[in-house]
Chains A and B, each alone.
Chain A
Amino acid sequence: MTTAVLQERTHYLNNGYGLKSWLLTKDHKRIAVLYFITISIFFALGGVFASLIRLELVTPAGDLVSSETYNKLFTMHGVIMVFFFLIPSVPATMGNFFLPMMIGARDLAFPKINLLSWYLLIAGGGFAIFAMMAGGVDTGWTFYTPYSTTYSNTYVIATALGIFIAGFSSILTGLNFIVTVHRMRAPGMTWFKMPLFVWANYATGVIQVLGTPVIAVTLVLVFCERVFHIGIFDPALGGDPVLFQHLFWFYSHPAVYIMVLPAMGVISELVSTFSRKPIFGYPFVAFSSVAIAVIGFLVWGHHLFVSGQSLYAGLVFSFLSYFVAIPSAIKVFNWTATLYKGSISYATPMLYAFGFIGLFTIGGLTGLFVAALGIDVHVTDTYFVIAHFHYVMVGGTVMAYLGGVHYWWPKMTGRMYPEGWAKLSALFIFVGFNLTFFPQFILGYLGMPRRYHAYPPEFQVLHVASTAGATVLAVGYILPAIYLAWSLRYGPVAGSNPWGATGLEWATPSPPPTHNFDRIPVVTHEAYDYTAVPQEVEVV
């Protein structure tokens, strides 16, 4: 196949070129591309904030920026990365693009709502960016009261409003996925023939729909107290500051699973494709997603072990937190067992999958530390916690995200990325990530508190190591931005199924036509049946 052929055929990318054809599109694939561009910008922005934080922390004194600026930097890093990158990341891009294709559908159940959800993210992001340009916000991404409601003189309301609006984007995406999975599966596509990526996004949708309204309500309450001085959280007005923490974490702990479950779904696809094996223990991996979604709602109090909540509440939440660890462990064991007697390829997406399993294992195991009451008293609000959740969110979700981007890049764009450069950047990311965040476990146990602009000199060596790692990590993130852009024009043309993968998305030409399938497929094989790999599609 040549470049010329690619241009002759009508597919979703060349089916209309004007701005209007993108901004008013109802095609789930185009909306996925819009999301992809949007969250890439947010990721870059959050990354710039992170870089400035790491630069400031090279020296113990607060000398690069002022304390006000430093506090705004870590707040905006958190807000942008959590609400405008990690939460939409996998579902809004790859989920949007591939969930319908994987179950043999021509679009999501509600294409207009899908477009609306993108506009909501843009509107929410607009408020957040306005808040930053106007002067920033300094409450931390957690908005703890009464600091956020009474004491902070920064743009709390605009930022909260941005998150509030973006929340509806997340709810609508989740709703769309749930309905699509229930109603739009192709003939023969039973629940247990669905790829595990679909299971993971379905479970995520449930959390998005049930959890996100709670953060919306909480932010409205913050608004009421800050603007109308209605006493809800501030004890000076008769409120309860710890109530906020309960409400906030009732959403924000399940939100961790919104961020990581779809990533786990990606890993299931990668591990299967690049070892040419069905996922070992498919039903266990599928149900572990559902288990995480359910139990994830019952563990929020583990963020409050030292907040003054009752001793017995601490016991219950610690106990339940160990329950939620088990389904994650089950997934890791099953992915590893899938490799047994496989045909293992070292293509870039698989390197990311290996990276994910390794780093997520460390992130998950250190979760057992913070779930232990006696240990958490010491390490909560220190760099130990920072290291733990970055191992899960960056070592986990971002690795899976990049693995997925490389895996589906040929399907989305019709072209291959340069394999050598991609392997090199995967290596940079793995090494840089560990060098950045592993020293933070040690810092945390030593007692280095989080959100400190200046710190005692004995912590400097570990901070310098961490910043050095962040530099390597930054190179690892910049490389794909360059070579992926390059590949859009110069990458080798990919066939319809360059990996020999089994999903229905590979039974379409690359890039797929707007309607995905000329004829809705009838599913007769189990998921990941490598005796029935979709053949190269003839392009007419």
Chain B
Amino acid sequence: MQLPLFPEQASTISTEVDHLLYFLVAVSVFFTLLIFLAIFYFAIKYRRRSENEIPEHVHTGLTLEIVWTVIPFGLTMIMFTWGASIFFKESRPPDDSMQIYVVGKQWMWKLQHMEGQREINELHIPVGRPVRLTMTSEDVIHSFFVPAFRTKQDVVPGRYTTTWFEATKPGKYHLFCAEYCGTNHSGMIGWVYAMEPQDYQQWLSGAPKGTLSQAGAKLFEDLACSNCHKPDGSGRCPSLVGVFGSTVKLAGGGTVKADEAYIRESILSPAAKVVSGYEPLMPTFQGQVTEEGVVDLIAYIKTLAEKPAEQPSQPGIAASAASTATNR
């Protein structure tokens, strides 16, 4: 019979979260005992001894009121600061994180590695390396929850949310959907496999059909994006070379950072933010491209910014260049 009482600690943040938990438990036990023992002690010592007794009057002490207001307040501010500092770390993925895309749908997790591996309800990751998840949903709100990592983030349709973790020991850990998502909510579960880096490399080499950016490059052609978004900027729409991560000037003033959310929005609602100097000509691709397809396109557009030295004249060449780079 299994009776675990404490979850495994398998990420860098998990020990920090648990240290705060220990502090909170200690404070809680102290105050619970204080109240319980005081009640027991008073209830016995001052039990009613005759039906008509009227106890003497005790005056309210202002000092006491201040003491038991200020001390708990001080303690809660420690809790707040401590909890917030962990949250800051949880919310900000390190710059060198490896990227994985997650699409949730009723009732499965679809996970895509940059190298092209696509998994369902399973996620393979290396230990010792921060992993950043960029997530969206095809239908309702889900929530990506790995208890051993103390990580949870809602996965919201219509937008990207991100989270990250760094596994510290190899193993197999529960992946749960934590936001109620309909009939088979409790079946929307899976496993995270944290692997030694060399095992992970071996796993990666297990026959990927092409990287995400290659898939994106193909989609870029198939959807005829390349007709207008020409690499040299001669098309009717802006060149996408070097766009990702840059600051884009918008028509009507203002700027936007070209991140994943912006690229996604520009594909699905092109009229929302039009680049300065261009007409709002682009049709929406809502309904023509899946969330996974959008992820592929983003991966491709990212590569256009990553390798300015090898700027290709055609998307197809970019894809083959990328494939040579990853086919080890």
A contact residues vs B (CB 8 Å cutoff):
62, 67-68, 71, 138, 140, 144, 146-147, 150-152, 234-236, 240-242, 275-278, 280-282, 284, 305-308, 311, 314-315, 318-319, 322, 325-326, 329-330, 332-334, 336-337, 339-346, 354, 357-358, 361-362, 365-366, 368-369, 371-378, 380-382, 442, 445-447, 449-458, 460-462, 530-531
Q: Known contacts A67-B183, A336-B35; is A368 also within 8 Å of B90 by CB?
A: no
Decide if B150 touches A378 in the complex (CB within 8 Å): yes
**B47 cross-chain contacts in A, Cβ below 8 A:** 344-346
- Contact pick for B24, options A357, A375, A447, A453, CB 8 Å: A375
Within B36-84, which residues are at the interface with A (CB < 8 Å)? Answer: 36, 38-39, 42-43, 46-49, 53-58, 60, 64-65, 68-69, 72-73, 76-77, 79-80, 82-84
Minimum CB–CB distance for B3 against chain A, Å: 5
**Chain B window 121-161, contacts with chain A (Cβ cutoff 8 Å), 1 for yes, 0 for no:** 00000000000000000011101010110111110111101
**In the bound complex, CA of A369 to CA of B22 (Å):** 10
What's the minimum C-beta distance from A452 to chain B, rounded to whole angstroms?
A: 4
Known: A235-B158, A375-B83. 8 other contacts (CB 8 A): A146-B140, A146-B157, A308-B154, A330-B68, A339-B43, A354-B43, A369-B24, A374-B17
Partner of B55, one of A341, A372, A374: A341
User: What residues of A have a CB within 8 angstroms of the CB of B281 in the complex?
Assistant: none
Q: Which residue on A lies nearest to B47, using beta carbons?
A: A344
Interface assignment of B230: CB less than 8 Å from any CB of chain A: no
- Which of chain A's residues has its CB closest to B60's CB? A281
| B251: A residues at CB distance < 8 A | none
Pair A325/B68 contact, Cβ less than 8 Å: no
Q: Are B4 and A446 in contact (CB under 8 A)?
A: yes
Contacts of B187 in A (CB 8 A): 67, 454
Closest-CB distance, B10 to chain A (whole angstroms): 12
CB pair B3 A462 closer than 8 Å: yes
Return the contact of B141 from the options A241, A337, A373, A374 (Cβ within 8 A): A241
Give the chain A neighbours of B177 by CB distance below 8 A.
449
Kindly list chain A residues whose C-beta atoms are within 8 Å of the C-beta of B278. none
Q: Is the CB of A144 within 8 A of B141?
A: yes
Is the beta-carbon distance between A452 and B152 smaller than 8 angstroms? no
Listed in ascending order, the chain B residues whose CB lies under 8 Å from chain A are 1-7, 16-17, 20-21, 24, 27-28, 31-32, 35-36, 38-39, 42-43, 46-49, 53-58, 60, 64-65, 68-69, 72-73, 76-77, 79-80, 82-88, 90-91, 106, 139-141, 143, 145, 147-148, 150-154, 156-159, 161, 174, 176-187, 189
Among B6, B16, B17, B43, point to the contact of A346 (Cβ < 8 A). Answer: B43
| Contact A307–B39 (Cβ < 8 Å) | no
A532 to B80, CA, bound (A): 46
> In chain B, what residue has the closest Cβ to A70?
B186
List, sorted by A's number, 11 A–B pairs whose CB atoms are closer than 8 Å.
A140-B180, A235-B158, A235-B159, A277-B55, A315-B84, A326-B73, A339-B46, A342-B46, A372-B79, A382-B178, A454-B186
Do A372 and B80 touch (CB < 8 A)? yes
Beyond A275-B46, A357-B35, A368-B79, whether A461 also contacts B186 by CB under 8 A is: no
Complex CA distance for A409 and B69, rounded to whole angstroms: 35
Q: Is the CB of B43 within 8 A of A381?
A: no
B31: which A residues are within 8 A, CB to CB? 361, 365
User: With A329-B72, A461-B3 as given contacts, are A147 and B65 in contact (CB-CB < 8 Å)?
Assistant: no
Pairwise interchain contact B186-A67, C-beta atoms closer than 8 A: yes
10 closest A-B pairs by beta carbon, nearest first, are A235-B158, A447-B147, A374-B86, A372-B83, A373-B87, A339-B42, A452-B186, A322-B76, A365-B28, A381-B178
Instruction: Give the CA-CA distance A281 to B64 in the complex, in Å.
Output: 9
Q: Is B145 in contact with A381, judged by CB distance below 8 angstroms? A: yes
Q: With A241-B156, A449-B145 known to touch, is A343 a contact of B53 (CB < 8 Å)?
A: yes
State whether B46 touches A151 (Cβ < 8 A).
no
- Closest-by-CB residue of B relative to A62 is B186
Residues in B with CB closer than 8 Å to A455 are 186
**Cβ contact within 8 Å between A329 and B183:** no
User: Is B86 in contact with A373, judged by CB distance below 8 angstroms?
Assistant: yes
How far apart sit A462 and B46, CA to CA, in the bound complex (Å)? 39
Q: Are A322 and B79 in touch, CB under 8 angstroms?
A: yes
Question: In the complex the two chains form, what is the Cα distance from A284 to B65 in whole Å?
Answer: 8
Q: Which of the residues B73, B150, B157, B184 comes within 8 Å of A235, measured between beta carbons?
A: B157
Does the CB pair B178–A280 fall under 8 Å? Answer: no
CB contacts (< 8 Å) of B88 on chain A: these are 311
Is B7 in contact with A447, judged by CB distance below 8 angstroms?
A: yes
With A318-B80, A333-B68, A461-B2 already in contact, the answer to whether A343 and B38 are too (CB < 8 A) is no
Q: Which residues of B contact A318 (CB under 8 A)?
A: 80, 83-84, 87
Please measure, in the bound complex, the distance between the C-alpha atom of A462 and the C-alpha atom of B1, giving whole angstroms. 11
How far is A354 from B87 in the complex, measured between Cα atoms in Å?
A: 37
B residues within 8 A CB of A375?
17, 20-21, 24, 83, 86
Set of chain B residues within 8 Å of A307, measured between Cβ atoms: 141, 154, 156
Q: Do the beta carbons of B55 and A151 come within 8 Å of each other?
A: no
Residue of A nearest to B162 (CB): A308
Cα(A67)–Cα(B48), bound, Å? 54
Chain A min CB distance to B211 (Å) = 28
